[in-house]
Structure 1
Amino acid sequence: MNKIRILFASLSGSVIEWYDFYLYGTATGLVFSFLFFPSHDPAVGLLLSFATFGIGYAARPIGSIIFGHFGDKMGRKAALIFTLIGMGGSSFLIGLLPTYEQIGIWAPIILVLLRLIQGISLGGEWGGAVLLATEYAPKGLRGLYGSIPQLGVPIGLVLGSLSLTVISYFTSDTQFLAWGWRIPFLFSVVLIGLALWIRSGIEETPAFKQQKEAGAIAKIPFLETVKTNWKSVLHAIGLKIGDGFFNVFLMSFILSYSTVYLGYSNQVALTALTIGCATMIISIPVVGYLSDYIGRKLIYIIGLILLFILSIPYFSLVDEGASWLYIMQGVMLGIIWASIFATQGTLFSELFPAKVRYTGLSFGYQVAAAIVGFGPMIWTTMAESFGPSPWVFGGFMMGGIILSFILSLLL
C-alpha cells in the first residue's frame, strides 16, 4: 500500500474533523453567545455557549466506545468513513441553522444536538487516524508517522480561524453576525468529499489484518479493554489531563479571554491563534521524527516541565500587548504544547495491544478530553470572580500539569 496515500488519508480526515470541531469553538465566543444564547448579561450568554462547547467534549468518550468497537471488530477504515460523515454533516447543518430570534428555543436545542454528533464523531476519529498511520509505519519511523495525523489539529484550526479572520475583515460586524460566520461551516461539505475519496482507496492496516486472520478479534472490545487494560486507560487519562487544559485554553478560550477580559480586537485574537497553529505545523513532524531517536517519554517530560514553568509568565505577558500575545501563543502553543502533542498519538497507542488498541487508545484520550472540555465554563466563572489574574489562571494550569508529570515518570 502506498505510504504517502496512507498518510494523506490519515491527515485529511483529521484536518476536517478538527477544522469542524475547532471552528465551533472559535465561533462560540464570537457568534453563538449572541445568536443562540441571548441574555441581558453577556457573561451568562458566554457561559451557556461554552456549555455546548463542553458538551461536544463530553460526547467524545461515547464516540470512542462506538467507533472503537467498529474499529477493533470491523477494521480501522470502516470506522473512519463514518466519523467523517458524522462530523462534516453536522457542521454543514450548523451553517444552515436558524437563530434564536428566528425559531426561538429550538435554535439552541438543535445546536446542542449537532454539537453532540460532532463530539461523538471526533471521539472515534482521532484514535483511528493515529492507528492508520502508526500501524503502517516502517520500522524506526513510528514516531514520525504517528505525528502526521496530529498535524490535522493545527491545519484544521488554521483553516477554521483563518476563514473566520478573512470573513471578518471583509464584512462589517452586522454582516458577520448575519451570514458571514456561516460560510466556513458550509464549506465543510467540500472537504468531506475530498477526504472520503482519499480514504475509500486505502486498505486495512497490517496489524488489523493479522488479528483478523488469527481469529483474535475481541468480541466486545470495550469490555475487554476495561477488564485487561484498565491501568493503561487510567494512565492515558492522567497523561492527557495536564496538557489538555492548556490545550483547550490556547486553542479556543484564548479568543474569549483576550477579547472579553483583555480588550483585544477579534482580529488580534484570531491572528495570535493562527500564529500558534502555523508554528505547530512545522514543529510537530520535527518532534515526531526526533522521538524515534531520543525517546517519546523524554520529550513528553521536558514539555510538561516547560509548561509548568511558563504557566504564570504566559498569563502575565499576554496582557502586556498584542506583540506579547503573538509571541507567547507561538511559544506555548506552537512549540511547547506541540512537542507534547506530537508524541501523544504514538505514545498512547503503544500502551495497548492491537486487539483493543482502537478502543483503548480512543477511550483513554477522549475521557481526558471530556474533562478538560469544560475548562471554558470554569475559566469564565474564574474570570468573572477574579478577573484575568495570572496567579489564578496559571495556578489552575499548574495543578493539572503536576498530575501528568508524575504519571509520565512511571511510563
Structure 2
Amino acid sequence: MKKSRVLLASLVGSVIEWYDFYLYGTATGLVFTSLFFPNHDPAISLLLAFVTFGAGYAARPIGSILFGHLGDRIGRKAALIFTLVGMGGSSMLIGVLPTYEQVGLIGPILLVTLRLIQGIALGGEWGGAILLATEYAHKGVRGLYGSIPQLGVPIGLVAGSFSLTIINYLTTDSQFIAWGWRIPFLLSGVLIVIAIWIRKGIEETPDFQQQKDSGDIARVPIIETFRHDWRNVVRAIGLKIGDGYFNVFIMSFILVYATTYLGYSRETALGALTVGCATMLLTIPIVGYLSDFIGRKVIYVGGLILMFLLAVPYFSMINKGSAWLYIMEVVVLGVVWGAIFATQGTLFSELFPAKVRYTGLSVGYQVAAAIVGFGPMLWTTMAESYGPSPWVFGGFMMAGLVLSLVFCLFTPSVTTSGHSDKQKTA
C-alpha cells in the first residue's frame, strides 16, 4: 500500500468532515439565527443558534464510543467509511430543510437533530483519521504522518467559510437568504462520494491487522479502555481543555466577536481567520516533523505556555485595528495553536495500546471537545455583561490553559519509537 494514498485518504476525509462541521458554524451567524431561531432580541437569537452549534460538540463523545467500538473491533477503514456517510448525509439534508417560517418548530428541531448526527460522525472521524496515518507510519516519521490529518481543520474551515462567502457575493441578499446558503451544504454530497472512493481503495492499518491476526480483539472496547487505560483518557481530556477553548474562539467565535463586539466588517474578520489558517498549513507539517526529534511533549508544553502568555495581549491587540487582528490571528492561531495541534493526534494516540487505541484516543479528545463546544454560549453572555474585556476573556482562557499544563506534568513522555515510558517499561 502506497503511503501517499493512505495520507491522502486520511486528509481528504478529514477536510470534508471539517468542511461540513465548520460550514454549519459559519451559517449559524449568517442565516440560522433569522431563519430557524427568529426573536425580537438579536442576542437571544444568536444564543439559541449557538446552542445548536454546541449540540454538535456535545454529540461527539457518542460518536467516539460508537465508532471507537467499530474501529477497534472491525477495523479503522470500516469506521471511517461510516463517518463520511453520516456527516455527508446530514449536511445534504440541512441543505433542503424547511425554515421556521415554513413549518414552525419542526424546522429548528430537524436542524438540531441533523447537527447531532454531524457531531456523532465527527466524533468518530478524527481519531480514525489520525490512526489511519500514524499506524502506517514507520519509526521516525510518526509525528509528521500524524500531523497530516490535522491539516483538514484549517482547510475545511476556510473551504466552508469561503463557500458561503462566494455564494453570498454571487447572489442578492434576498436570494442568499431564500436559497443561496443551501448550495454549499448540498455540495458536500459530491465531495463525500469522492472521499469514500479514495478510502475504499486502501487496506486496513498494519497495527489493527496484527491485532486481528492474533485474535486479541477487545470484546467491548469502551469497557476495556476504562478498566485499564482510564488515566490516559483523563489525561487526554485535561490536555485538550486548555487549547480547546482558545481553538473554538479563534476559529469560530472570532467572526461573531470581531463583527458584533469590535465593529469589524465580516470581510476583515474572515480575512484574518483565513490568513491564520493559511499559516497553519505551514506550521502543522513542520512541527509534526520536528516532534519526532525533539519530542511531542516538549512542543506541547511550550505551546501551552506561549498561549498562556499571549491570552490577554491577544484580546487587547485585536481591538486596536484590523492590522493587529491579522497579526494576532497569525501568531496565536497559525503559529502557536498550530504547533500544539500538530502534535496532538500523535501524542494522544501514543498513550493507548492498539487494542483500544481508536476508542481511547477518540473518547478523551471528544469529551474535551464537548466541554469546550459550549464556549460560544458562555462568551455571548460574557460579552453582553462585560463587553469585549481583554481581562475577562483572556483570564477565562488562561484558567483552561493552567489546567492543561497541570495535566502535562502527569503525562508520560513518549519515545521516538512511539510508546510512552510507562508502556515501554510495563
What interval of TM-score do these two structures reach, taking the shorter chain for normalisation?
over 0.9
> Where does residue 178 of structure 1 map in the other structure?
178
Partner of 1:355: 355
Name the SS for the 1:310 alignment partner: helix
| CA apart distance, 1:206 | 0.5
Give the corresponding residue for 1:201.
Answer: 201
Aligned to 1:392: 392
Say if 2:69 is the partner of 1:69: yes
Distance 1:318 1:176 in 2: 30
Matched, 1:44 2:44: yes
C-alpha deviations, 1:160-210, integer Å up to 9, x for none? 112122223333333322222211111101110110010000110000011
* CA distance in 2 between partners of 1:191 and 1:55 (Å): 24
Using the alignment, how far apart are the partners of 1:187 and 1:270 within structure 2? 21
Amino acid at match of 1:348: F
Query: Which letter does structure 2 place at the counterpart of 1:73?
Result: R
Counterpart in the other structure of 1:279? 279
CA distance in 2, matches of 1:339, 1:174: 42
Hey, what's the Cα distance between the residues in 2 that align with 1:317 and 1:169? 30
Structure 1 residue aligned with 2:422: none
Instruction: Say whether the 8 Å CA contact 1:165–1:270 is kept in structure 2.
Output: no
Conservation of the 8 A alpha-carbon contact between 1:28 and 1:49: yes
Label 1:176 to 1:327 Cα distance change in 2 as closer, same or farther (>3 A).
farther
Question: What is the identity, as a one-letter code, of the residue corresponding to 2:290?
Answer: L
Q: Give the Cα–Cα distance (whole angstroms) in 1 for the partners of residues 203 and 98 of structure 2.
A: 40
Match of 2:117 in 1: 117
Question: By how many angstroms is 1:69 displaced?
Answer: 0.2
Q: Report the residue type matching 1:78 in the other structure.
A: A
CA offsets per residue over residues 25-69 of structure 1, 9 Å max, x none? 111112111111000000000000000000000000000000000
* Higher mean displacement: 190-199 or 157-166: 157-166
- Residues 325 and 176 of structure 1, relative CA distance in 2, 3 Å threshold: farther
Distance 2:179 2:315 in 1: 34
Matches within 5 A, 1:100-139: 100-139=100-139
Task: Give, in whole Å, the separation in 2 of the partners of 1:20 and 1:316.
Answer: 32
Q: CA separation in 1, counterparts of 2:201 and 2:220?
A: 28
Tell me, yes or no, if the aligned pair for 1:147 and 1:346 is still in contact at 8 Å: yes
The answer as to whether partners of 1:299 and 1:339 remain within 8 angstroms in 2 is yes
Distance in 2 (CA, whole Å) between partners of 1:391 and 1:167 is 37
Q: Secondary structure at the match of 1:96?
A: coil
Query: What secondary structure sits across from 1:187 in the alignment?
Result: helix
Q: CA deviation at 1:262?
A: 1.1
Distance 1:269 1:175 in 2: 23
Q: Does 1:229 align with 2:229?
A: yes
Could you give the per-residue CA deviations for residues 267-290 of structure 1, whole angstroms, max 9, x where no partner exists? 222112111111111110011001
Structure 1 partner of 2:97: 97
Aligned: 1:169 with 2:166: no
Pair 1:175–1:262, CA change in 2 (3 A): farther
Structure 1 counterpart of 2:6: 6
Contact 1:162/1:274 (8 A) holds in 2: no
TM-score with structure 1 setting the length: 0.99
Q: CA deviation at 1:233?
A: 0.2
Residue matched to 1:190: 190
Q: Residue 309 of structure 1 aligns with which residue?
A: 309
SS of residue matched to 1:38: coil
Asked if the contact 1:83/1:124 (under 8 Å) is kept, the reply is yes
For 2:395 and 2:403, the matched residues in 1 are separated by 13
Give the letter for the 2:25 counterpart.
G
The Cα offsets for residues 338-396 of structure 1, whole Å up to 9 and x where unpaired, read as 10000000000000000000000000000000000000000000011001111100000
Partner Cα separation in structure 2 for residue 23 and residue 107 of structure 1? 18
The one-letter amino acid of 1:121's match is A
Taking only aligned residues, the RMSD between alpha carbons, in angstroms, comes to: 0.9
Distance in 1 between residues matched to 2:85 and 2:32, nearest whole Å: 23
Q: Distance in 2 between matches of 1:393 and 1:284?
A: 26
Q: Once the two structures are aligned, what percentage of the paired residues are identical? A: 74
Matched, 1:141 2:131: no
270-279 or 292-301: which moved more?
270-279
State how far apart, in whole Å, the 2-side matches of 1:324 and 1:361 are.
36
Determine the C-alpha separation between the residues in 2 that align with 1:89 and 1:303: 37
2:95 is paired with a residue whose SS is helix
User: 1:85 deviation in Å?
Assistant: 0.3
Gaps of 5+ in 1: none
* Alpha-carbon distance in structure 2 between the residues aligned to 1:134 and 1:178: 44
Tell me, yes or no, if structure 1 residue 212 matches structure 2 residue 209: no
Q: Amino acid of the residue matched to residue 128 of structure 2?
A: G
Output the amino acid matched with 1:371.
I
**Deviations 1:191-246 (Å, cap 9, x if unpaired)?**
10110010000110000011011110000000000111000000000000000000
SS of the aligned residue for 1:136 comes to: coil
Unaligned runs of 5+ in 2: 412-426
Which residue number corresponds to residue 288 of structure 1?
A: 288
- Partners of 2:126 and 2:138 lie apart in 1 by 21
Q: Alignment length, in residue pairs? A: 411
Moved more, 169-178 or 339-348: 169-178
Quick one: distance in 1 between partners of 2:325 and 2:175? 28
Match of 1:319 in 2: 319
TM-score for the superposition, normalised by structure 2: 0.95
2:355 is aligned with what amino acid? K
For residue 324 of structure 1, report the CA deviation from its aligned partner: 1.3
1:326 CA displacement: 1.4
Which segment is superposed worse, 285-294 or 258-267?
Answer: 258-267
Q: In the aligned structure 1, how far is the partner of 2:249 from the partner of 2:127? A: 22
